[in-house]
Structure 1
């Protein structure tokens, strides 16, 4: 099969049929891509790839270049020698990173085709695209250090490994926490009734703790008026993550709401009239995607805000007929306590320096933040 591809760096250059090809994934449609274009992290540049057959658009892919040099912090939670080493390595040997896929979210959101494609062809196309972008940066005097392809569900990863990805280091970092909602749950009451006593008690206790906190869905104008505070709450959580490769732009949430309107919901948590937390969810077909959130550290501890946010997102998913909720990669244990299950996702990585690449598996293991956690089983 003869396919060609074209790489675009601006949304207004995209082919007219782009959104027809990407209708199955909101993260590859132009409203979301416009959000990336208008308010991507300051150290990120996006590329939009059109894949053609006989001049017809049949697939699209997303690539992101990250300049790690521009990052204020890689994550400040783990103050230790390993973190210092990791920061040194990233600054000097991994500061120019190319992702094929979306580094800002968890899930297989890197490419989509409107017709069946064999994995041999997909692997070949993805590698050709990455090489074209590496060449583009080389001509600008920038050497890409690391190329990473992310995220793939296990069966896709196994297939890709049979072809052009065979010589690349494949890695599994923390699993994606996915909650498959039961079709018989029609309300939050049905969901809570399915818990064993221990987890029903957890639910009641957390709700009691959260008394006095008002939860309110924010419209575009309210997001704008609370923008500084929303960013402050987001930034606190992001900075305290074990590892970071980007920070969102300050106007990210208002830009997102303006572009996606009803497909993005932002809920504010208010205590005595003051915004003390927020969560965001994205409606993606039959899947509810959790996006970024933020909270005031002191209120979170006292009011169990984070756990209540997880319950609230689940309630929204159930009441609005979603089939599953993607909760992403952080806070695995607490997410499993509300019903989410770990799903392994793989990525592929290589270093453009052959000597470093020979040892990439050992290096990667040392740099990767370790996470020990215990899976909870909340249902009867």
Structure 2
């Protein structure tokens, strides 16, 4: 989170919090960001805000040292948590009067998030020349200040920090001293690229026969598909179909924190160029699936897929995209592929391993915060059978 050349200074009392990317002091922001996380780049943030500012609120914060140097940046999203299966609605009803909707099989509640609900990982803040502990304390202080804003106080009941890798919990656990409750959801599936892999054939050759045969089956079933990179114009021209395919996948989820649209994908491609991958799978003249990914330093982050389930099984569209992610990372000489949550079994079959990530939640009222306990205790990573596809002597 902090930069490696850490020469500790003191965090001052000066902060700047704005609602729009255009109002961010760019030089100060970039001095802290230093191209270390694409999700905290102004190009990414402006693309997201432009697409969704009519659906959700954003806040951007910069903290300064006692000598006026920018030392920390943080991003917040005020979003609507949608529990489509009403797994937690009974308890949530007791937590807040700020319920957005509770009808049929849909329950929603407003949440203030430090981080990014559209990706996994530590994408809420970055710091420089201060310690990790100081950075965590400062972000917590910014959050408390934000929660007092009239436009947020009247809408948000729960505050969420998402989400931290195991190596970061030594400082993120400081939030528990402020009555935040920690919990884990489904694991992030991560594939580490082996130094001997130069091509997809190298990768496949390292697999046990069973899994290599399975991969070849996927390629055989999907050989009729034409997978192509999309330009800005391609995304625009196929936006209606893209949103339909994306909606098919989202419909299967139990809950969500908001929904991207084709306009966001257009903006990402326009602003991030080759660091944003949008790939479409064509069957004859019909778009039957798409995948997106971000190249974030030495990591390729698989973000979203859209599928036509009428064709998915017969042509192994989804699994073909997984191998395509592997190949994209090889071509760009990445070190890791982050495949995110869900479909853990299938992702383990291509070599990804599970990594637990920790989140922290807190209700704005102390009594109601106690009622979070049954929700938190009921949330845990899904169980699945881990597959190890690589040969026993492959390390």
Pairwise mapping of residues 287-306 of structure 1 onto structure 2 (< 5 A)?
287-306=299-318
Kept after mapping to 2: 8 A contact 1:74/1:87:
no
Residue number among 28, 32, 35 corresponding to 2:47 in the alignment: 35
Kept after mapping to 1: 8 A contact 2:288/2:311:
yes
Kept after mapping to 2: 8 A contact 1:336/1:375:
yes
Task: Give the paired residue count.
Answer: 369
Which residue in the other structure is 1:268 paired with?
280
Which residue in the other structure is 1:156 paired with?
168
Q: Answer yes or no: is 1:14 the counterpart of 2:24.
A: yes
Aligned equivalents of 2:177, 2:118: Cα separation in 1 = 23
Kept after mapping to 1: 8 A contact 2:278/2:291:
yes
Aligned equivalents of 1:250, 1:88: Cα separation in 2 = 33
Kept after mapping to 1: 8 A contact 2:280/2:290:
yes
Q: Answer yes or no: is 1:281 the counterpart of 2:293.
A: yes
Aligned equivalents of 1:195, 1:184: Cα separation in 2 = 13
Deviations 1:197-221 (A, max 9, x none): 1100110111111121111111111
Pairwise mapping of residues 106-125 of structure 1 onto structure 2 (< 5 A)?
106-119=120-133, 121-125=134-138
Relative to structure 1, the CA distance from residue 228 to residue 132 in structure 2 (aligned partners, 3 Å threshold; closer, same or farther) is same
Kept after mapping to 1: 8 A contact 2:11/2:71:
no
Aligned equivalents of 1:200, 1:29: Cα separation in 2 = 38
Deviations 1:171-220 (A, max 9, x none): 01111111110111000000000000110011011111112111111111
Deviations 1:306-364 (A, max 9, x none): 11100001011012210111111121111111011111110111111222211312123
SS in 1 for 2:255: coil
Q: Answer yes or no: is 1:360 the counterpart of 2:372.
A: yes
Q: Answer yes or no: is 1:100 the counterpart of 2:111.
A: no
Deviations 1:84-118 (A, max 9, x none): 74786764797221011111110111111133523
Residue number among 8, 15, 28 corresponding to 1:5 in the alignment: 15
Kept after mapping to 2: 8 A contact 1:42/1:249:
no
Aligned equivalents of 2:62, 2:299: Cα separation in 1 = 25
Which residue in the other structure is 2:387 paired with?
376
The TM-score, its normalising length taken from structure 1, stands at 0.91
Unaligned runs of 5+ in 2: 1-9
Aligned equivalents of 2:57, 2:223: Cα separation in 1 = 43
Q: Answer yes or no: is 1:318 the counterpart of 2:333.
A: no
Relative to structure 1, the CA distance from residue 278 to residue 143 in structure 2 (aligned partners, 3 Å threshold; closer, same or farther) is closer
Kept after mapping to 2: 8 A contact 1:42/1:248:
no
Q: Answer yes or no: is 1:147 the counterpart of 2:172.
A: no
Which residue in the other structure is 1:244 paired with?
256
Aligned equivalents of 1:230, 1:143: Cα separation in 2 = 32
Deviation at 1:41, TM superposition (A): 7.1
SS in 1 for 2:242: helix
Unaligned runs of 5+ in 1: none
Cα RMSD after superposing both structures: 2.2
Pairwise mapping of residues 84-95 of structure 1 onto structure 2 (< 5 A)?
85=90, 91=101, 95=109
Greater shift in the superposed pair: 30-39 or 349-358 = 349-358
Which residue in the other structure is 1:50 paired with?
62
